[in-house]
Structure 1
Amino acid sequence: MKTTISQVSQYVGQEVTIGAWLAGKRSSGKIAFLQLRDGTGFIQGVVVKAEVEEEVFKKAKSITQETSLYVTGIIREDERSPFGYEMGVTGIEVIHEAVDYPITPKEHGTEFLMDHRHLWLRSKRQHAVMKIRNEIIRATYEFFNKEGFVKVDPPILTGSAPEGTTELFHTKYFEENAYLSQSGQLYMEAAAMALGKVFSFGPTFRAEKSKTRRHLIEFWMIEPEMAFYEFEDNLKVQEDYVAFIIRNVLENCALELKVLGRDTSKLEKMQAPFPRITYDDALALLHKQGFTDIEWGDDFGAPHETAIAETYDKPVFITHYPTSLKPFYMQPHPEREDIVLCADLIAPEGYGEIIGGSERIHDAELLKSRIEEHGLEISTYQWYDDLRQYGSVPHSGFGLGLERTVAWLSGVEHVRETIPFPRLLNRLYP
């Protein structure tokens, strides 16, 4: 019976065959322990010299790291194993022998591991991070489908910048200028006017020359937009969504979190509702904590966000930022023109902003004036203005950065480990 490691619980006491790679091994004179992986998980294969043919034990002693195999054996429960099962090996068939695998059990530097990212992904730690990433994606689709959202795919090549910044990757689109998308938001607003509640999930690009542990050049965003949703409605969806993915990661990735040494007691506290603090109050809090150099109208950096987050044991919304700090499309506060109806959701433990969202401007004249104030060409955004001309409604949305969320939930320090092949300021290989 051929099966996978993830399915061995169904075959306790039975002999099965698994296609696997040798992740590592140790042996004595009479017994060999094979660490096997097949993509679905890791399991230990135990080869006892007295219980197998001489050729089988000889293979067990000589096979090299990352050699591919068909391993046959009896599945048994094992309380000492984090996985809960092991295999009593009865047969080994070598498919392809790996020679001089470069990533050995010794310590390797980060640059070496990044140069060998295509192989580093095979390690138990990286496997665990990718499984958590996959669970967040799976839970994302479940949440939005359950809530009646429609998946819409915005274009990756655009003719303008959603946030009016210069941090764009430029390319030629035949005779026109084009840019790699930094957000699908504007297109999702158009989709919301057609379909009510929509979400996108796709790659975005920022030509930002940053080397911090929170930044990638190419990253993935989940971007919902909702017609007839105002500021408070928007925050409620964000809370429910984040709480949902945390719950699913805890339930479905317990083994992976254990492999990574994640303190899950912290994640178990992350239930909605989440605390809120206005920009004004956050600024006062920072001044009390000794950040005297920051003034009203300044944006918060990583140290500021961390200091604010440490005041709480849950993610915290920082709301109502100054208008001058935010993109042109954000709805102003009804009683204060100097602030907008927006919020950033800051993750605890120093992981920073994972969500940025706002109510969007729905008045055509106000939108036009904001476009002009930001020095943008109104003709470029004519289609976006059309959304306000033909049946405009209050609407809101947000964007969640997948990689920062993966880093937070898995507890890894740097976002480069949270995407299969990271694109960094000085890295385009492999």
Structure 2
Amino acid sequence: MKITIKEANKYVDQEVTIGCWLANKRSSGKIAFLQLRDGSGFIQGVVVKEDVGEDIFAHAKSASQESSMYVTGIIQKDERSPFGFELLVKNIEVIHESVDYPITPKAHGPEFLMDNRHLWLRSKRQHAIMKIRNEIIRATYEFFNNEGFVKVDPPILTGSAPEGTSELFATKYFEEDAYLSQSGQLYLEAAAMALGKVFSFGPTFRAEKSKTRRHLIEFWMIEPEMAFYEFKDNLEVQEQYVSYVVQSALKNCTLELNTLGRDTSKLEQIQAPFPRITYDDAVTFLNEKGFADIKWGDDLGAPHETAIAESYDKPVFITHYPTSIKPFYMQPDPDRDDVVLCADLIAPEGYGEIVGGSERIHDFGLLEKRIEEYGLSKEAYKWYLELRQYGSVPHSGFGLGLERTVAWISGVEHVRETIPFPRLLNRLYP
């Protein structure tokens, strides 16, 4: 019977066949230990010479790293194994012998590993990170479907820039100028006026010349947008959603989190509600902590976000940023026209901003004024303004960066490990 490693718990004491690759091996006299992987998981195959005979034992000892094979054996419980099972091997059929596999068990530098990303993905560490990423995606769809949201797919090619053109990739769309999307938000606002509560999940692009461990050129965003939701409602959805995906990862990725050495006690504390501080209070706090460089009206950088997050065990909302440093579409605070109804959600443990959101301007006149003040084309945003002409309502939304969230939940240092093929300032290969 052919099975996957993930299904091993269903076939204890039964003979099965697994199509797999040899990740690593070691031998001790008349016993060989094969570390096998098949994409669904990892299992140890134990080959005992006196049980299998000379030929099969010779195959086990000579097989090279990443050779593909069919391995037949009996599934046995093994409490010493992180997976809980091992395979007592009876037969090995080599499909393809791998020669001179470049990523050996020794340590390699990050540039070498990135050059070989197509192979590095096979490692146990990368496998664990990708499984956690997949669980966050699965839980995202589950959460929004359960909450009555409709999935909408905004275009990747756009004719306008929601947050200015300085960080956009420009291209030609036949005879017109076009850009790779940096957010689907504006289109989702239109969809929310038709469907009430919507969300998108797709790639976004930022032509930002940054080399920090938090930045990618191409990354994936989850962007919900909600009609009749005001600022407070928006924050509640964010904290419920983030709590949901963290708890889902804890429940369904125990083995992967352990493989990465993640301190899961810190994740267990991630339950709504989350603490909230205003931008005003954040600046005061930072000044008291010795950050003399930050003054009111400045945007907060990574060191500032980290200093604030260190005071909390949960993600923390920083709310009510100055109007001057936020995009044109954000709703002003009704009591203060110098700040807007927005929030950034800062993850603990130094992982920085993972969510940005706001209530959107729903007044036609104010939005028109903002577009003019930001030097944007009224013609390009004509359709966006029309959303405020025909049944405008208060509405809000946010965007969660998938890779930063994966990095935080996984506990990995750099976002380049959290996406299958990262696009960085100096990397477009492989």
TM > 0.5 between the two? yes
Give the deviation of 1:294 after TM superposition. 0.8
Match of 1:133 in 2: 133
Question: In structure 1, what residue type is equivalent to 2:32?
Answer: A
Q: How does 1:197-236 map to 2 (within 5 A)?
A: 197-236=197-236
Match of 2:59 in 1: 59
The 1-side partners of 2:347 and 2:294 are apart by: 21
Match of 1:377 in 2: 377
Q: Deviations over 1:190-230 (max 9, x none)?
A: 00000000000000000000000000000000000000000
Question: In structure 2, what residue type is equivalent to 1:412?
Answer: V
Query: Which SS does the other structure have where 1:338 is aligned?
Result: strand
Match of 1:161 in 2: 161
The 1-side partners of 2:293 and 2:257 are apart by: 39
Give the deviation of 1:293 after TM superposition. 1.3
Question: In structure 2, what residue type is equivalent to 1:368?
Answer: E
Give the deviation of 1:281 after TM superposition. 0.3
Query: Which SS does the other structure have where 1:3 is aligned?
Result: coil
Query: Which SS does the other structure have where 2:88 is aligned?
Result: strand
Match of 2:193 in 1: 193
The 1-side partners of 2:297 and 2:380 are apart by: 28
Q: How does 1:88-99 map to 2 (within 5 A)?
A: 88-99=88-99
Question: In structure 1, what residue type is equivalent to 2:389?
Answer: Q
The 1-side partners of 2:103 and 2:408 are apart by: 26
Match of 1:331 in 2: 331
The 1-side partners of 2:104 and 2:116 are apart by: 12
The 2-side partners of 1:94 and 1:30 are apart by: 20
Q: How does 1:301-316 map to 2 (within 5 A)?
A: 301-316=301-316
Q: Percent identity?
A: 81
Q: Deviations over 1:169-204 (max 9, x none)?
A: 000000000000000000000000000000000000
The 1-side partners of 2:259 and 2:229 are apart by: 40
Match of 1:142 in 2: 142
Q: How does 1:7-406 map to 2 (within 5 A)?
A: 7-406=7-406
Question: TM-score, with normalisation over the residues of structure 1?
Answer: 1.00
The 2-side partners of 1:276 and 1:49 are apart by: 63
Query: Which SS does the other structure have where 2:379 is aligned?
Result: helix
Q: Which runs of 4+ in 1 moved over 3 A?
A: none
Query: Which SS does the other structure have where 2:92 is aligned?
Result: strand
Question: In structure 1, what residue type is equivalent to 2:13?
Answer: G
The 2-side partners of 1:247 and 1:306 are apart by: 23
Q: Where does the alignment leave 5 or more consecutive residues of structure 1 unmatched?
A: none
Query: Which SS does the other structure have where 2:353 is aligned?
Result: strand
Give the deviation of 1:165 after TM superposition. 3.8
Query: Which SS does the other structure have where 1:59 is aligned?
Result: helix
Match of 1:425 in 2: 425
The 2-side partners of 1:239 and 1:216 are apart by: 24
Aligned length, in residue pairs: 430
Give the deviation of 1:54 after TM superposition. 1.4
The 1-side partners of 2:186 and 2:53 are apart by: 66
Q: Where does the alignment leave 5 or more consecutive residues of structure 2 unmatched?
A: none
Query: Which SS does the other structure have where 1:389 is aligned?
Result: coil
The 2-side partners of 1:164 and 1:383 are apart by: 17
Question: TM-score, with normalisation over the residues of structure 2?
Answer: 1.00
Query: Which SS does the other structure have where 1:2 is aligned?
Result: coil
Give the deviation of 1:53 after TM superposition. 2.0
The 2-side partners of 1:177 and 1:163 are apart by: 16
Question: In structure 2, what residue type is equivalent to 1:395?
Answer: H
Query: Which SS does the other structure have where 1:337 is aligned?
Result: strand
